[in-house]
Structure formats: C-alpha cells, structure tokens
Amino acid sequence: MVIESAAVSVTGDVKSPLITVGKVTGVFGIKGWLKIASSTEPSDNILKYSPLWLKTRHGVKLVEFDSTAPRGQHFIVHVGGVDTPEEAANYVGSDIAVRENQLKPLHGGDFYWRQLIGLKVVTAYAGESQDLGVVGSLLETGANDVLVVDHTESSIDERQRLVPYVLEMYIQSVDLELGQITVIWDPEF
C-alpha cells in the first residue's frame, strides 16, 4: 500500500484533481525557506514531484522548489521568488499537492490510501457475508497499515473496527470498480 492523501478537486487551469502529498509546517531561517512535512512513502518522494501546487487560503499556486534539504524527519525547501520570512509565512499551513496524473501507476495489488477511503467493507468470516461499514481512514502502525472501518446505516452494528491491512490473512480482495473490500474478520471484534 502507498500513502498519499485524499484527492481534492480544484478549479482553474488544473486538468487533473490535486492530491495532497504534504504540508507547509513553518518558516525556516531568514531567507524565506519553508519547513514541510511529507505524507508520501518514502517521505523524500515529495521532493521528486515537479511541479507542485500550494493550496493556500487564497487559492492554489503553482510552485517549484529551487533548493531542498533534509532536517530530521522533515525537509526544508526554498520556493523561487520567496526570499523573506514574511513572504514565507504566507504559506504556513498550506497543503502541498500534485496533479493526480503525476502519481506513478501502481501494480500488483498496491493502492493509494485515497483509493481505499470510502470503500465498503464486507466480511466473509465463517462463510457468511456481513457489511461492516466503510473505510473512513487508515492508520500507519509500522508493522502494517490498518483500515479504520466506520459504521453505516447498512452495517451490522454501530461499531468502529480496526482491520489490519494484511493481504491473504485479513484482506481477501479489493475491488475498486465494485467499491468494496472483502475481509476475513470476525464481526465480534
């Protein structure tokens, strides 16, 4: 599974929905550098995309990082034309996005998280099909990712479930066209 955040449609000249891949978290130094947090896996993949879009409170802005450097678990970047801390501060809190068509195609049962969110989750436990709800979000635990399954009107109860994303053990199939994930999960858990 590959981590990328949910798609967001935008207006203007963007021909493909924008996918959030990180966030501007602060200003660094006196020359207009920005601190960013990546939501890509691995985290340095965010530096491979060009161009990037900043989704600011004033709209969407096309940018390119002209310099980058790792800083612990995050990165610092410089955007061309942003040369003071005051200018950089305008971008703090902005999402960093790419066009959907910039994402590499996935093969072999890999999915972007955004593709799984909203899918119906059905368990085939003990040969009986039961509706558990929909994927509301995912968690990264280190060992494996976890589906956070939220209840719906048609689910068997009102419980939220955490289902490990472990193929063949718990995840039987993912059908994007049908909009459904079939799991082997005891509905009592």
Q: What tens digit of pLDDT does each residue of 78-119 get? A: 999 999 999 999 999 999 999 988 888 887 778 888 889 999
Closest CA to 58 of 91, 80, 26, 19: 91
Closest CA to 78 of 32, 38, 40, 45: 32
Q: May I ask the CATH architecture of the domain 117-183?
A: Roll (2.30)
15: pLDDT strictly greater than 50:
no
Looking at per-residue confidence, does 14 or 95 come out higher? 95
Provide the terminal-to-terminal Cα distance of the chain, rounded to the nearest Å.
23
Mean pLDDT (the chain) is 88
Closest CA to 185 of 129, 139, 135, 136: 129
51 preceded by a cis bond (ω within 30 of 0): yes
Domain 7-102: CATH superfamily is RimM (2.40.30.60)
pTM tops 0.85, yes or no: no
Enumerate the domain spans of the chain: 7-102, 117-183
* pLDDT tens digits along 162-179: 999 998 899 999 999 999
8: pLDDT strictly greater than 50:
no
40: pLDDT strictly greater than 60:
yes
Residue 16, pLDDT score = 55
* pLDDT tens digits along 124-138: 998 889 999 999 999
